[in-house]
């Protein structure tokens, strides 16, 4: 599986864990640390990647603005 980690979840430990499981992992920090959420959604969609984030703002982009998107996972701390 291919993942794109948002800046807020681009820790080396998560990236290393996913890569260690055989996944193709890219970090938003490596692509463009100043990329907007819209740009990250576009990159993930174009590259067939699951976007992983903690950012609630993606909900507005998907459900209110109805921007095209691929699969996303929002991590929530208990």
User: Number of H helices and number of E strands within the chain?
Assistant: 4, 4
pLDDT at 25: 97
pLDDT digits (tens, 9 = 90+) for 1-28: 999 999 999 778 999 999 999 999 999 9
pLDDT at 78: 81
Q: Which residues of 23-43 are buried (b: 16+ CB within 10 A; e: fewer)?
A: eebbbbeeeeeebebeebbbb
Evaluate whether 46 touches 52 at the Cβ level (below 8 Å): no
pLDDT at 69: 94
Maximal CA-CA distance, the chain: 36
- Residue 42 lies in domain: 2-74
Place of tokens 């174009």: 46
Question: Domain count of the chain?
Answer: 1
Q: Which token pair is 34?
A: 């100043």
pLDDT digits (tens, 9 = 90+) for 41-76: 999 999 999 999 999 999 999 999 999 999 999 999
């Amino acid at each position: 599986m291919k993942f794109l980690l948002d800046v807020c979840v681009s820790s080396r430990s998560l990236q290393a864990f996913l890569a260690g499981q055989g996944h193709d992992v890219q970090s938003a920090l490596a692509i463009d640390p100043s990329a907007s959420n819209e740009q990250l959604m576009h990159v993930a969609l174009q590259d067939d990647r699951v976007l992983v984030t903690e950012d609630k703002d993606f909900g507005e982009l998907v459900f209110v603005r109805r921007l095209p998107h691929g699969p996303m996972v929002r991590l929530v701390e208990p």
